[in-house]
């Protein structure tokens, strides 16, 4: 049918198609560009509740004796990883500016060597910018032999510029397998158990 169109129309169609294709390619690239943009945006604003991946230095400031913030600590395992992670203290009350220590125990309850990492998440997410970790097991993978136990400390500080409306900060550690474990296969078997 294009044979019917006059030269001008054909040129117009070609131009329109070229422009839409450029827009398409642009949007496809934009979708992937959103991933690093999101990461940078979250790093600046703390919006996804992630904390720094490296040990940070203590900010030397006098503890704010007038404020008390409750720090709750939650640990979670994940499917396909027979480990337990326990915090020795579930809740600490700290003054902003003061540093505190909580100990954790990792234990491999399975019968093979496995590698995992505890990935932190902070809620409310605004607090993540004000939570400084001076020492944490979450900076590296842990490798545990069957039945092996391992104790590790978390040393942290909530800085004094923590927004006033935050009274409770929840820090969650979720264990994720880091070696090529059977976690996905387990998941699908669980879901497709009827097959």
- Return residues touching other proteins (CB under 8 A): 1-9, 12-13, 16-17, 20-21, 23-25, 27-28, 30-32, 34-35, 38-39, 42, 45, 47-50, 78, 117, 119, 121, 123-126, 174, 176-178, 183-184, 187-188, 190-195
Q: Minimum CB separation from other proteins for residue 129, in Å?
A: 11
Cα dihedral 118, 122, 127, 129 sign: positive
Locate the DSSP E strands across the chain: 69-76, 83-87, 91-94, 99-108, 114-123, 131-135, 142-144, 149-158, 168-177
Q: Minimum CB separation from other proteins for residue 167, in Å?
A: 15
Residue with tokens 């939650």: 74
Q: Which is nearer to other proteins, 57 or 180 (CB)?
A: 180
Q: Which is nearer to other proteins, 146 or 187 (CB)?
A: 187
Q: Minimum CB separation from other proteins for residue 13, in Å?
A: 5
Q: Which is nearer to other proteins, 63 or 124 (CB)?
A: 124
Q: Minimum CB separation from other proteins for residue 18, in Å?
A: 10
Q: How far apart are CA 11 and CA 182, in angstroms?
A: 56
Q: Minimum CB separation from other proteins for residue 27, in Å?
A: 4
Written as six digits, the tokens of 75 are: 């640990």
Q: Which is nearer to other proteins, 39 or 86 (CB)?
A: 39
CA geometry: angle at 181 spanning 175 and 183, to 5°? 70
Give φ, ψ of 96 to 5 degrees: -55, 135
């Amino acid at each position: 049918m294009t044979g019917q169109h006059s030269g001008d129309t054909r040129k117009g169609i070609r131009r329109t198609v070229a422009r839409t294709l450029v827009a398409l390619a642009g949007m496809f690239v934009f979708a992937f560009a959103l991933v690093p943009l999101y990461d940078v945006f979250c790093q600046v604003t703390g919006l996804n509740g992630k904390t720094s991946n490296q040990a940070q230095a203590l900010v030397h400031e006098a503890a704010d004796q007038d404020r008390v913030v409750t720090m709750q600590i939650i640990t979670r395992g994940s499917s396909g990883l027979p480990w337990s992670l326990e915090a020795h203290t579930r809740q600490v009350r700290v003054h902003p500016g003061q540093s505190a220590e909580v100990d954790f125990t990792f234990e491999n309850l399975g019968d093979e060597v496995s590698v995992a990492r505890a990935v932190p998440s902070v809620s409310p997410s605004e607090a993540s910018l004000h939570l400084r970790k001076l020492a944490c097991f979450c900076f590296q993978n842990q490798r545990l032999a069957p039945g092996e136990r391992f104790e590790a400390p978390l040393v942290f500080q909530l800085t004094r510029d923590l927004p006033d409306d935050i009274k409770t900060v929840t820090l969650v550690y979720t264990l994720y397998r880091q070696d090529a474990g059977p976690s996905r296969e387990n998941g699908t078997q669980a879901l497709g158990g009827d097959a």
